[in-house]
Amino acid sequence: MRLADFILRDMEAILGQWEAFALTLLPAAANMKSLALRDHAQQILEAVAKDLTTSQTREAQSEKSMGRAPQLIGASETAAQTHALLRARSGFEINQLAAEYRALRASVLRLWMDACQPETPHPGDIMRFNEAIDQALAESVSFFSAQVDQARNLFLGMLGHDMRSPLQTIQMTAVYLAALNAGDKVSGAASRLIHSGARMQALLDDMLDFNRTKLGLGINISPTSVDLADLFADELNLLRAAHPDHQIDLEVEGDSQGVWDGRRLQQLLGNLVLNAIKYGAPEAPVRVIVTGEEEEVRFEVKNIGVAIERQTLDQIFDPLRRGPDQENKYDTDGNLGLGLYIAREVAKAHGGNIEARSDEVETVFAVRLPRVK
């Protein structure tokens, strides 16, 4: 008996074994009824049976075995994709999802081989069946991962938003205590609260920005008419006060006025300068050079230090990345490793870009901002 015929003929027996195994996947399956446990299993098996009876080239066979079967343009979700979506929403883990397919593969082949006796099962059917199951598994894992990622990002976004209110209350109370002038101990405690609150606020802001980009929303900007020379001078004054041992120079040439989100560009500059301070030579100045041209304004942040390796440079704007000497270490500066990633996203939100280059002489981060006509 050919495997496709067996699957369609003995569908109920196969589904019974699928349901029995799914019931063991606790705690997600604890309160699920039979229909939910069998969710889309019949449609997945029907698709597999149809695949077994469809001719294919060797190239298509190779692609499908790696989970890369072609998708029909405009086609709705496959049964395997919908199954993964519902399993994710039901609280299943990705390992449990994969286990369902392993169990399905084993039970179908075992039942079919028993049914074929005394004949020998067709070897080509086994290969085609494994390819079809691999394709269904790849579709399920891809959709499951996307659903989990989206749910996590939504949760973190809501958490970060809801934490703003109590954090602001803590900061306002700390400022009030500092203003009381109730002695050195109270003033010192209030100062520590203010400093720690500012660090927490920066972390929350980075996390919310990161989640917006991962949800496809991009960095939120509110452009107004601004002068980068003035904005950058203010931002660098704050950075000089926070890092008095480092020299930070600003050079401006040409027209630096335009329509941009000033606060966001200060954030971009601050992230680049802090990175230059952290990884540059302590005795060497950090230079910020702003050049206004007719169509755009460019600015560069330069520092002298150890050259960044090409492999690191290619990934330097990826999220959750730090310098090579900081990988797998807790950052005592309270940095999530999102600074350069957010800097790039801010530049993109303005229609610009940011590039990095590094050699034995210096490391340069160059930003291009087109003027809004």
- What is the percentage of the chain residues whose pLDDT exceeds 90? 31
Asked whether the predicted pLDDT for residue 147 surpasses 70, the reply is yes
Q: Is residue 233 a contact partner of residue 198, using CB atoms and an 8 Å limit?
A: no
CA distances from 13 to 8, 99, 129, 172, 355 (A): 10, 19, 18, 66, 60
What's the whole-number mean pLDDT along residues 46-67?
79
Helix, strand or coil, per DSSP, at residue 204: helix
- pLDDT tens digits, one per residue of 206-220: 777 777 676 666 777
- pLDDT tens digits, one per residue of 84-112: 888 888 888 889 999 999 999 999 999 99
Q: Long-range CB contacts (< 8 A, 24+ apart) of 52-61?
A: 52/2, 52/3, 52/4, 52/7, 52/125, 52/128, 52/129, 52/132, 53/4, 61/128, 61/131
Helical pair 94-116 and 11-22, crossing angle rounded to 10 deg = 150
- pLDDT tens digits, one per residue of 117-135: 888 888 889 988 988 888 8
* pLDDT confidence of residue 73: 42
In this structure, the dihedral spanned by the alpha carbons of residues 366, 371, 372 and 373, taken in order and rounded to 10 degrees, is: -160
Residue found by looking up tokens 């309270």 in the block:
334
- pLDDT tens digits, one per residue of 163-175: 777 877 888 888 8
pLDDT band at 373 (very low <50, low <70, confident <90, very high): low
Sequence length of the chain is 373
Domains in the chain and their CATH numbers? 1-218 (no CATH), 224-370 (3.30.565.10)
Q: Is residue 212 a contact partner of residue 219, using CB atoms and an 8 Å limit?
A: yes
pTM of the entire predicted model: 0.56
* pLDDT confidence of residue 331: 45
Question: What burial class does residue 264 get, using C-beta atoms within 10 Å of its C-beta: 0-12 exposed, 13-18 middle, 19+ buried?
Answer: buried
- pLDDT tens digits, one per residue of 176-187: 888 887 888 888
Asked whether the predicted pLDDT for residue 329 surpasses 60, the reply is no
